């Protein structure tokens, strides 16, 4: 017998097939929680900065036109972005940042498969390719893009490098949401 969540997802998908595109996007996510989720509502449909209502919380959303490349490069000119991990997230985000001219370094296990892949894609050991610990130390913006298992295993090693004034970034919140299982707890602030 299908689970309640699976039946709910199937029902949502069937309804979504007949709904306008905006509704389809909202219905595509499975509804595992028993709470109602209010759809995002644009308060303005014009180009530029928008304010969206996410379940009662107003959020500013910026578009590419709000942050042209020159403005972005100027804003981050004194920063070093450390991308920890070179799997699907680290690989894509690291190359994107580097190719757009930002100062980015990659941290992976030395001589591992990702280390070799990073070298093949133009990262240079000691210049912009480091061990995880070295990258976490050198970066003032730290992208924790390791696999969920690696985040759990390596958090005690990485945590001492996340000092006041640094920014810690996650591509998704699994590790910190389930901190009781992963023991990944972001520092206060």
Q: Phi then psi for 10, rounded to 5 degrees?
A: -60, -45
Distant-in-sequence, close-in-space partners of 175: CB < 8 Å, separation ≥ 6: 144, 148, 151, 152, 155, 182, 184
172 noted as active-site residue: yes
Angle ∠(8,9,14) on CA atoms, nearest 5: 100
Does residue 85 contact residue 145 with C-beta atoms inside 8 Å?
yes
Cα–Cα dist 25/172, whole Å: 19
Instruction: Out of 31, 91, 172, 183, pick the active-site residue.
Output: 172
Of the candidates 151, 147, 158, the residue with the CA atom closest to the CA atom of residue 82? 158
* C-alpha to C-alpha distance for 187 and 137, rounded to whole angstroms: 15
CB atoms within 10 A of CB 53: 14
Burial class from Cβ neighbours inside 10 Å (0-12, 13-18, 19+) for residue 115 reads: buried
Instruction: Kindly list the catalytic residues.
Output: 172
């Amino acid at each position: 017998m299908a689970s309640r969540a699976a039946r709910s997802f199937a029902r949502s998908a069937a309804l979504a097939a007949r709904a306008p595109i905006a509704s389809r996007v909202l219905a595509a996510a499975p509804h595992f929680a028993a709470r109602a989720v209010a759809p995002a509502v644009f308060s303005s449909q014009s180009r530029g900065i928008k304010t969206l209502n996410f379940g009662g919380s107003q959020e500013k959303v910026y578009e590419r036109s709000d942050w042209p490349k020159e403005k972005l490069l100027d804003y981050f000119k004194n920063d070093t972005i450390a991308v920890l991990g070179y799997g699907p997230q680290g690989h894509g985000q690291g190359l994107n940042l580097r190719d757009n001219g930002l100062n980015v370094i990659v941290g992976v296990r030395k001589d591992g498969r990702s280390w070799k892949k990073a070298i093949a894609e133009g990262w240079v050991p000691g210049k912009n390719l480091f061990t995880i610990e070295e990258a976490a130390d050198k970066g003032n913006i730290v992208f924790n893009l390791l696999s969920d298992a690696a985040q759990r295993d390596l958090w005690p090693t990485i945590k001492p490098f996340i000092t006041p004034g640094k920014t810690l970034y996650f591509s998704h919140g699994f590790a910190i949401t389930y901190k009781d299982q992963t023991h990944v707890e972001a520092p206060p602030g």
